[in-house]
Structure 1
Amino acid sequence: MIGAVIIDGTDIATLGVMMVRGGDHDFISFPSRKDPVLIDWPDEDGFEIGDFEPAYDAKKLTVNYLLTGNETNFLSRLNAFANLHFVAANNSIYVREFDTTFSLRFAGISSLDLSRGFTRTGEKRARISIDYIMDNPTQFLNPAITVPTANRTPDTKVEIGGVDLSAFGIIIKGVYPTALKQAPKDGIIYSSRYTTGQTVTFPSAVKKQKQNIALSCAMVCADRDEFMENWNALWNAVAVSSLSLGLTAAGKTYTAYYNDMSGFKKRPLGVKAKAEFEMNFMGYEV
């Protein structure tokens, strides 16, 4: 695995360390949006967004490594790997899987599991989870890539900004269980500790409350280059103040904004690069 991961110029393979499969899922997941300022009028459907440019939270990553050695070099390798991270600056971490160098702040070793004790001879292994903070959570995303190129068929019948998500190589695994939920805005509720129950003054017309809409997705592309191009294009489609989310098969359109991503998992980004994830939006039907 020479050249797979390089931390501040040190190839971790020379220390008997490798990033385990699935240990790199957090690197390219989209960051969460900071809560926008919402203007939520009781006599109007949904909301207005009071700020213009979205901002995003710093992102925590947990990366899983495997360190191997023997009774003579295991402890020195473990110390050397840990010491790589104790610098008065961010670590520069190159990951060949993404062909990208990330600037990450070391937050600590969150777990370390030894397979053989120091008093036993033979090969020793340690599974190590390290937490990092990506203070600039959009550093790996390219704002210049806006046009998707994957163009899967058939269409998903789910559109963002008028573009069907099949154009990004996406298959929609689920959206209707959340999108079809609806709730009204409350009237004015009066409650007193001295009387049973409460009374409600209803508005002249009941309006729709905002709702979470979860898009459960799989993205499948020909290779890493196509995947990363479409990943960037998808980010730039959702990284806007507000957007139009269309469910064309159901004849529904929502004004919404991207909130966060969860459950990102991928397989190695070789031939037929694939990732699964959920994008969460806050919106209302128009």
Structure 2
Amino acid sequence: MKGQLLIDRIDAYISLGICITKGSYNNLVAFPAMKEPDKNDWPEEDGQEFDLSSPTLDTAEVSIEFAYIGSLGIGGLIDILSDLSYHEFYFPLIGRSYKLRLSSQSNYVINPGLEVAKFIFSNDFPREVDYEYQEPVNKLPMPKGYEIDDKDLSDYGVVVLQGSNAEILKAPTVKKNLLQNFKRQDGAIYDGEVVKFQTKEVSLKCLMRAGTIETFWRNRDALLYDLTKLSTKTDNEGYEYSDAERIFYCDEWSESYPCYYKSCQTNDFMLNNGVWWEFTLKLVFTSFRIGETEFLLSSEAGEFIITEDGEFYIDLN
């Protein structure tokens, strides 16, 4: 309706009789995917070695469904969108602008007095211009227990939903060793001396809550920044380097996993008594091994006991 969408600062409802339908915000709030990093796959090592020294975000497809109740119909919108490649779309309800270019039309339904058409746009600008990082803020009570680089996801107003633990613990695919299969011989000959695991993709089902749209964007943008930023690290020989590998930690079984952000998909987005964003966050676990359980000394209260210098847990293996 009026004030729902501005195209190049012109109200689309007043000028064209156009409004957007429910669900059109889904692609707008989802994180853009990460471009595939270069990698090496060593058969004698678990996982893969990724070059995360220059993480970059990919373009994103944005689908928006329009309902036409004016006389100009779909033709009026196409005329506007085809005069230049890029147009500014401002959505007052979520308080954000996007510079989009028209890619295609995916469907078109004509009803008496109402036309509905869905267009696919390309977002070639995956990061906010002149973005300045702000620490996430969350005053809503939420369960804790999942961290990225020592920051609990509840700090962003995010809770990990049921079913994600099975994704985390599911065994990765085994790397295939040398396999010889001869036509004139039953079965095959497989080099089974060493078993190494591939990387695996983990889909975390998440829900972000925020009291206001301003808080939502602050926390959402902070999470994207923290997932893709470069961090300074030190290798085994003492040399410093920077990359975007993250450490995902699950408190339930006290395990940490090296990973990097891959992609995001919106499952549902609602503005109802605050902001509710249900999404799937996909991480790539770069190295994952099953069966290497560590037994750590703990007190009767269940707290881990560390060495006198405060740096190491006491391993009972």
Alignment partners' CA distance in 2, 1:237 and 1:65? 34
Q: Judge which range, 13-22 or 178-187, deviates more.
A: 178-187
Match of 2:190 among 188, 193, 200: 200
Equivalent position of 1:120 in the other structure: none
CA contact (8 A) 1:29 1:264 kept: no
**Are 1:158 and 2:146 matched, yes or no?**
yes
List aligned pairs for 1:183-222, cutoff 5 A.
183=172, 184-204=174-194, 206-222=195-211
Q: Go from structure 1 to structure 2 and tell me whether the alpha carbon gap of 1:46 and 1:141 turns closer, same or farther (over 3 Å shift).
A: farther
Q: Go from structure 1 to structure 2 and tell me whether the alpha carbon gap of 1:51 and 1:168 turns closer, same or farther (over 3 Å shift).
A: closer
Offset at 1:188? 2.2
Offset at 1:87? 1.6
Alignment partners' CA distance in 2, 1:51 and 1:248? 26
Alignment partners' CA distance in 2, 1:36 and 1:64? 33
Alignment partners' CA distance in 2, 1:29 and 1:171? 16
Equivalent position of 1:46 in the other structure: 47
**Are 1:24 and 2:31 matched, yes or no?**
no
Match of 1:228 among 196, 217, 221: 217
The Cα RMSD (Å) is 2.0
Alignment partners' CA distance in 2, 1:90 and 1:185? 45
Equivalent position of 1:125 in the other structure: 114
List aligned pairs for 1:1-286, cutoff 5 A.
1-14=1-14, 15-69=16-70, 74=71, 76-116=72-112, 124-138=113-127, 140=128, 143-173=131-161, 174-183=163-172, 184-204=174-194, 206-240=195-229, 241-268=244-271, 271-283=273-285, 284-285=287-288
Alignment partners' CA distance in 1, 2:274 and 2:262? 28
- What secondary structure sits across from 1:255 in the alignment? strand
- What secondary structure sits across from 1:285 in the alignment? coil
CA contact (8 A) 1:152 1:168 kept: no
Post-superposition Cα deviations, 1:136-180, rounded to whole Å, max 9, x if no partner, equal: 222x37752252111543433111111111111111113212111
Alignment partners' CA distance in 2, 1:77 and 1:262? 31
Post-superposition Cα deviations, 1:54-107, rounded to whole Å, max 9, x if no partner, equal: 1222111110111113xxxx2x34322221111232111111122222110111
CA contact (8 A) 1:142 1:232 kept: no
Alignment partners' CA distance in 1, 2:52 and 2:159? 32
CA contact (8 A) 2:142 2:159 kept: no
- What secondary structure sits across from 2:205 in the alignment? strand
Q: Judge which range, 259-268 or 225-234, deviates more.
A: 259-268
- 1:249 alignment partner AA: E
Q: Go from structure 1 to structure 2 and tell me whether the alpha carbon gap of 1:193 and 1:50 turns closer, same or farther (over 3 Å shift).
A: farther
Alignment partners' CA distance in 2, 1:51 and 1:89? 32
Alignment partners' CA distance in 2, 1:10 and 1:143? 25
CA contact (8 A) 2:47 2:198 kept: yes
- What secondary structure sits across from 1:178 in the alignment? helix
Post-superposition Cα deviations, 1:11-57, rounded to whole Å, max 9, x if no partner, equal: 11112111122222111211111211122222222222124111222
- 1:188 alignment partner AA: L
Unaligned stretches of 5+ residues in structure 2: 230-243, 290-317
- What secondary structure sits across from 1:267 in the alignment? strand
CA contact (8 A) 2:109 2:115 kept: yes
Identity %: 20
TM-score normalised over the length of structure 1 = 0.87
TM-score normalised over the length of structure 2 = 0.79
- 1:228 alignment partner AA: W
